[in-house]
Every structure is written in C-alpha cells, then in structure tokens.
C-alpha cells in the first residue's frame, strides 16, 4: 500500500513502479506532481495506492500525521511505523476516504442537476455495480469477523469426522506424539482410512487461503486459527490463475446461507485474478481532478441534504435549489433558512466551502464571489416582491416602508485536521471574532451592499466519516448546533459596537407613524433603518454619528440587544 498526497512532488521512478497510467500526475523532469485525488489498484503491480487530498499536508515539509510525505509514501513497509499502535488508525482513515469517493460516485450518478463541467471531473473505470479489490478485501475481513466462530465449528466437525476408525498401529509407528504435563502422549496426526474430500472443507480452504493472502499483503494483523489448511506461495499463485474453474466444480453442492456467501466472495476474488476470466482487469481506479467538488458535496450533504423540506408556491415547486443554482450560472455551495438576526422573521444563511491546505484562508476572489452569491439571493427575493408575490410570509429581504434591507449572514467553511484520531467531533471553530465586511457606504447597516462573512474551520475527518455513514439523528443534532453557532456569532458581533462599529436602536411604532417618521427624515436615515415584522422601527448608529444619535435621543429610541 502506498499513500500519496495531492499537489506534492515525488520521484518519477517511484511513481512508475506503482502506477500503470500517468494520468494521475504531471511530470517535470525526474519528478512528478500528483494531480488527482483517489484510489488506484494495479493487478499486475499488486499495489494499492491512495492519493489523499492536500488538506492532509500540515506545511511544506510534513503531513498532518507528523510524517514527511516520503515517509508516508512507504510507511507500511517501514519498520519504524508499521508495528506502532499509534499508526493503526491510518487504515481506518483510508477506508473512510475510499467510501467517500464511492459515495460521491453514487450521488453523482443519481444527480440530474450536476453540471457538465463537474461530471467530467470524476474519472473511473468501474461500473455502478462493480466491486473493487478493496471492496473484496474489506468484505473478506468483515465476513471473517462476523462468522469466524461458526466456520471454525464446521471445520472442527469435519476434522473430527476424519479421525473416525483410526489405525493406531500405523499412527504410533509413523507419528511422533507430544506429551502433556502428566506425560500422556497426544497424537496430532492420526492415521486412518482416506476419505473423499468434503466440499465444505474445500471451500473453507479457498476462503482462508485468500484471507491469509490479504493478511500478509496488507499487514491486517488478523489471527487465523492454525488448524485451517492454507494454500500458500507458488501454489496460491497457481490457484489465483485457475481458482475460478476449481471453485465452479463445487458450485452446485448444497451449502448453508453462510457458506453461500463465502462461495460468492471467493468467486468474485477469482474473477479478478483468474487469467482465463474475461472480466479480468489490469487496473481499477476512482479519481477526481478537482477535489473541491467532492469537498463541497460532503459539506452540503452534512448541512442541507435530505432533511430540508421542499417548499411550494402555488402550483410551481420552489426549493432551495432555486436559490442554490443562480440565473447567472453561479452555484451556491450551501444555503439554508433560519431566524433573522434582528426580528422573528427568517432569512437565508449562505455558505461557501473552501478546499485548501489546513492552515490557508480564502483570497480576494473567493470573498468577492461570496458577496455576489449573497446579492443574487437578495435579488431573487426582491424579484418576487417586485412581481407582488410573497415567497414566504416570514421572509423579508427589503422593507417597503424604510426601503432598508435585512442583514444577510454569510460564512466560509474550511476543512482542517488537528487530531488524526478524531472522527467524531465536528470542531466547528471561528477563524477570528470579526467577519469580513463588504459595503458601498460603510456607515449604512441596512443597505443591500453591506454584507458580512464569518469564517470557520471544521474537522475534515468528521465530514469524511459523516459523508459515507449518514446518521439522521446525529446529523440533525449537528445542524441544529451549527445553526446556533453561526447565528450566535453574528449576534455577538453586532452586540459589541467595538467590533461591529454599529449600535442598533429600536422603538415600537405602528406602520403609519413609522412611515411618516422615515419620510420626514429619509435623507438622514436612508440605509440606516428597517421596519421589522414585529412592528418595531430599527435605527443603526455608526461610530456615534452625531446627527443620527441626536435623532435617536429626540425620538426616544432604546438600545436593542440582539438575541
């Protein structure tokens, strides 16, 4: 097994020893850079290869495993690491990673909305119903762990039947006993009349010979009972080439359900190794050039997949997809509906996944794109308002009385890894206590061009596990807590004028009085006021602006604490 990392350079000679195809890397002189993320297996080179995402790099020299990329490349054959208990988790990590590729492949094949430019990113020679070498390896191990007691019982029963009618004279003459503590001789090889080979025992021999091969090749540390007859070495290599025909000679014998499953596993293995099989492949792989697509899908499944109810407007179905896929071709990574920051109405929270190395942050282009996403969502809702359509009663982006705009919360999500053993905690951590701000008028809070983006780190290993092992209750709890974190972070920010530079004041007013007050002072209050769904007029004060502060005092507005 070899572990490579996306974007890292390796010696070209090393890569050619494990990869039959150069499509997974870009060569430059005597080195090559891994350009894909994925799983690869060569039947001829007998090598499993994992190309992990760049998030597994800690810095230019070391990986998050505290190994260099070269040590990680061959860690399994390095005595320094392969016997250490602390590195056993790598095998589990690789299984989660492999399952995430399969899950994306499954979701992609069912997703009719996937854009064409995304569909060509997934690169595989596996059909929808095909098993890979790794699938078989895991299936053999799982079967063994679940059925080892019952299979061992069958084996012992068979061995017991073999020693009926023993020929003791021949046994004593040709075998050496072992002696127990009371000096009683015990014969481990008992001579008796030869019997016909039991078909069940023959199948068990094939199964455990294959399992033993997996165990030795991939250092699985399985303890196989020594009483099983195992086919090894050159004899096993010959069995790989002819096993399918031998197996099919016992196909129509009567087996229990357990043995039928064992037979099927052996059959699938020999179909891949038998030289006479028309299904034999030289290699198998699942890879993707732009892993950010899979990362976005992993986070989106965690945040919004399947648990959100579909919305309907008259006879036309309106869902979050209408907001996610913008008219200008832009696709929002994550969007969900939650309570507004300033009243009891709801607003859309808009997020973007950022696929970088663990310690990187979004650049200017990413920030600009995020603000564009937010403006598109605002415009979507304003278009309904202009057409006299109410999208939802409790969602208001623009208030007609004040012509002010509700605050639109935005967030970036970065994958990071700081504990390689932690697959169970999301560890959603803010990157700083102040959001990124975009504005046309810096002193106007309720202006459509005034937007804020908070940034968060999230445990990449948690996402990886949750993506392929989707647990409804666990994900529902995660979403509830995450929404509280996102909202509370904004609430805390606006409640602290030293950070936000704004204070928000409120006064209960009916519509007529509010409209008159705004009309009389529109130039002063433009972009600084909003009439809430709760019948309150809000005024924002930027850095103790003298004129607005006087207006607030004269009209008896009180300081509002967001909750």
Is it the case that residue 434 has pLDDT exceeding 80?
yes
What DSSP line would sit under 230-282, residue for residue? ---HHHHHHHHHHHHHHHHTTTTS---HHHHHHHHHHHHHHHHH-TT-TT--S
What is the pTM for the complete model shown? 0.74
The predicted pLDDT at position 199 comes to 56
Beta bridge partners, 28, equal: 31
Is it the case that residue 15 has pLDDT exceeding 90?
yes
Domain membership of residue 216 as a residue range:
133-273
Between the alpha carbon of residue 131 and those of residues 103, 138, 148, 162, 539, the distances in Å are 14, 11, 23, 37, 62
Burial track 79-113 (b if 16+ CB lie within 10 A, e otherwise): eebeeeeebeebeebbebbbbbbbbbbebbeeeee
Same domain, 105 and 59: yes
Closest to 428 measured CA to CA, from 490, 483, 365: 483
For the record, the structure tokens of 537 come out as 């007029």
Question: Is 526 part of any domain?
Answer: no
Same domain, 114 and 167: no
Measured distance CA(163)–CA(149) in Å, rounded? 22
Question: Is 549 part of any domain?
Answer: no
CB contact set of 436 (below 8 Å; sequence gap of 6+): 367, 452, 453, 454, 455
Is it the case that residue 444 has pLDDT exceeding 90?
yes
The predicted pLDDT at position 13 comes to 93
Is it the case that residue 313 has pLDDT exceeding 50?
no
Residue, of 377 and 482, whose pLDDT is higher: 482
Same domain, 66 and 6: yes
The predicted pLDDT at position 517 comes to 94
Task: State pLDDT tens for residues 509-537.
Answer: 999 999 999 999 999 999 999 999 999 99
The predicted pLDDT at position 273 comes to 79
The predicted pLDDT at position 354 comes to 80
Mean pLDDT taken over the chain: 80
Question: Is 381 part of any domain?
Answer: yes
Q: Which residue has the tokens 């998050």?
A: 64
Domain boundary residue, one of 124, 148, 167: 124
Same domain, 415 and 454: yes
Is it the case that residue 111 has pLDDT exceeding 50?
no
Question: Is 278 part of any domain?
Answer: no
Task: State pLDDT tens for residues 48-92.
Answer: 899 999 998 888 878 888 888 888 887 665 554 444 555 566 777
With pLDDT > 90 as the criterion, what percentage of the chain qualifies?
26
Same domain, 146 and 256: yes
The predicted pLDDT at position 390 comes to 63
Question: Is 515 part of any domain?
Answer: no
Stretch 368-391: mean pLDDT, rounded?
74
Number of domains the chain is built from: 3
Same domain, 414 and 385: yes
The predicted pLDDT at position 407 comes to 93
pLDDT band at 155 (very low <50, low <70, confident <90, very high): low
> What secondary structure letter does DSSP report for 558?
E
- Angle, CA 127 vertex, CA 122 and CA 133 arms, to 5°: 95
Same domain, 9 and 89: yes
Domain boundary residue, one of 498, 523, 552: 498
Beta bridge partners, 428, equal: none
Residue, of 255 and 97, whose pLDDT is higher: 97
Highest mean pLDDT among 49-63, 196-210, 287-301, 488-502: 488-502
The predicted pLDDT at position 47 comes to 83
Same domain, 308 and 253: no
Same domain, 358 and 434: yes
pLDDT band at 4 (very low <50, low <70, confident <90, very high): very high
pLDDT band at 180 (very low <50, low <70, confident <90, very high): low
Question: Is 530 part of any domain?
Answer: no
Stretch 8-35: mean pLDDT, rounded?
91
pLDDT band at 492 (very low <50, low <70, confident <90, very high): very high
Same domain, 335 and 482: yes
Domain boundary residue, one of 124, 146, 163: 124
Q: Are 467 and 103 in contact (CB under 8 A)?
A: yes
SS3 of the chain: helix, strand, coil, percent, to 5: 45, 20, 35
Is it the case that residue 198 has pLDDT exceeding 50?
yes
The predicted pLDDT at position 312 comes to 39
The predicted pLDDT at position 30 comes to 92
Same domain, 476 and 357: yes
Q: Which residue has the tokens 């639109």?
A: 408
Closest to 293 measured CA to CA, from 49, 37, 51: 37
pLDDT band at 257 (very low <50, low <70, confident <90, very high): confident
Q: Which of 156-165, 222-231, 274-283, 342-351 has the weakest average pLDDT?
A: 156-165
The predicted pLDDT at position 372 comes to 79
Same domain, 15 and 107: yes
Closest to 322 measured CA to CA, from 347, 345, 108, 332: 332
Is it the case that residue 142 has pLDDT exceeding 80?
yes
The predicted pLDDT at position 314 comes to 40
The predicted pLDDT at position 120 comes to 40
What DSSP line would sit under 107-172, residue for residue? HHHH-TT--HHHHTTEEE---TTPPPHHHHHHHHHHHHHHHHHHHHHHHHHHHHHHTSSB-HHHHH
pLDDT band at 117 (very low <50, low <70, confident <90, very high): very low
Question: Is 351 part of any domain?
Answer: yes
């Amino acid at each position: 097994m070899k572990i490579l990392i996306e974007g890292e350079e390796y010696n070209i000679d090393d890569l050619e020893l494990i990869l039959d195809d150069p499509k997974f890397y870009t060569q430059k002189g005597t080195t090559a850079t891994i350009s894909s993320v994925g799983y690869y297996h060569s039947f001829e080179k007998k090598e499993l290869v994992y190309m992990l995402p760049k998030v597994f790099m800690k810095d230019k020299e070391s990986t998050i495993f505290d190994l260099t990329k070269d040590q990680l490349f061959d860690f399994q054959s390095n005595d320094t690491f392969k016997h250490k208990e602390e590195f056993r988790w790598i095998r589990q990590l690789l299984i989660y990673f492999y399952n995430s590729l399969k899950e994306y492949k499954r979701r992609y094949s069912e997703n009719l909305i996937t854009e064409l430019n995304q569909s060509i990113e997934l690169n595989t020679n596996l059909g929808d119903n095909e098993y890979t070498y790794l699938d078989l390896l895991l299936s053999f191990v799982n079967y063994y762990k679940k059925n080892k007691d019952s299979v061992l019982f069958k084996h012992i029963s068979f061995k017991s039947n073999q020693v009926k009618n023993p020929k003791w004279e021949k046994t004593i003459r040709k075998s050496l006993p072992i002696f127990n503590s009371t000096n009683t001789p015990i014969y481990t090889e008992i001579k008796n009349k030869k019997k016909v080979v039991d078909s069940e025992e023959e199948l068990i021999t094939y199964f455990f010979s294959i399992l033993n091969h997996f165990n030795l090749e991939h250092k699985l540390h399985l303890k196989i009972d020594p009483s099983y007859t195992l086919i090894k070495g050159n004899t096993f290599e010959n069995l790989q080439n002819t096993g399918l025909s031998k197996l099919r000679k016992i196909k129509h014998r009567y087996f229990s359900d357990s043995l039928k499953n064992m037979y099927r596993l052996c059959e699938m293995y020999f179909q891949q190794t038998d030289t006479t099989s028309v299904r034999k492949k030289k290699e198998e792989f699942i890879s993707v050039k732009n892993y950010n697509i899979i990362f976005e899908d992993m986070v989106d499944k965690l945040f919004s997949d399947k648990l959100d109810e579909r919305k309907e407007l008259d006879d036309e179905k309106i869902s979050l997809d209408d907001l996610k896929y913008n008219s200008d071709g832009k696709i929002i990574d994550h969007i969900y509906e939650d309570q507004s920051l300033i009243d009891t109405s709801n607003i859309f929270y808009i997020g973007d996944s950022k696929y970088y190395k663990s310690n990187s942050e979004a650049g200017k282009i990413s920030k600009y794109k995020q603000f564009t996403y937010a403006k598109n969502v605002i415009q979507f809702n304003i278009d309904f308002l202009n057409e006299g359509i109410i999208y939802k009663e409790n969602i208001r982006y623009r208030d007609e009385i004040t012509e002010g705009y509700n605050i639109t919360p935005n967030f970036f999500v970065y994958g990071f890894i700081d504990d390689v053993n932690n697959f169970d905690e999301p560890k959603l951590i803010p990157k700083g206590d102040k959001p990124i701000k975009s504005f046309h008028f810096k002193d106007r809070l309720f202006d459509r061009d005034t937007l804020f983006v908070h940034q968060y780190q999230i445990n990449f290993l948690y996402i990886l596990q949750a993506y392929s092992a989707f647990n409804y209750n666990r994900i529902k709890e995660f979403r509830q807590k995450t929404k509280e974190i996102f909202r509370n972070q904004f609430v805390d920010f606006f409640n602290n004028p030293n950070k936000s530079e704004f204070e928000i004041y409120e006064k209960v007013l009916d519509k007529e009085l509010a409209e008159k007050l705004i009309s009389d002072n529109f130039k002063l209050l433009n972009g600084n006021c909003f009439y809430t769904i709760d019948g309150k007029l809000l005024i924002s004060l930027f850095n103790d602006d003298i004129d607005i502060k006087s207006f607030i005092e004269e009209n008896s507005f009180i300081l509002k604490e967001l909750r």
